[in-house]
Amino acid sequence: DVKVTQSSRYLVKRTGEKVFLECVQDMDHENMFWYRQDPGLGLRLIYFSYDVKMKEKGDIPEGYSVSREKKERFSLILESASTNQTSMYLCASSWDFKAFFGQGTRLTVV
């Protein structure tokens, strides 16, 4: 079974902190994604990576950056956390169009 692991289930950070969300997949998938999920808004794509060091902006990249130095790891970085970044963050990898998700990280910025 494909496993996508996010480093934390719950995270509380202070406004202005630099925050790293880590995601690791064990199936050698080329594509990896970061989404945020908010009530009533569904899943919105933040960033997409289709290979090591390759990335594309999604619908809401402002305030975020990503890093993909190794194929299995895709990191989401909040440069300076703000309260409006409080959300559920979901990482996924995909193969043959099918996405496999991690368990999610619920981030609260106070």
Partner 1 sequence: SQQGEEDPQALSIQEGENATMNCSYKTSINNLQWYRQNSGRGLVHLILIRSNEREKHSGRLRVTLDTSKKSSSLLITASRAADTASYFCATPLRAGANSKLTFGKGITLSVRP
Number of residues that bind partner 1 (CB under 8 A): 31
Per CB under 8 A, 106 contacts partner 1: yes
Using the rule CB under 8 A, which residue among 55, 94, 107, 109 binds partner 1? 94
Q: Between 58 and 63, name the residue whose CB sits nearer to partner 1.
A: 58
DSSP conformational letter for 84: G
State the nearest-atom distance from the C-beta of 57 to partner 1, in Å.
Answer: 10
- Give the footprint of partner 1 on this chain (CB under 8 A): 4, 30-31, 33, 35, 40-45, 48, 50-51, 56, 58-59, 88, 90, 92, 94, 96-104, 106
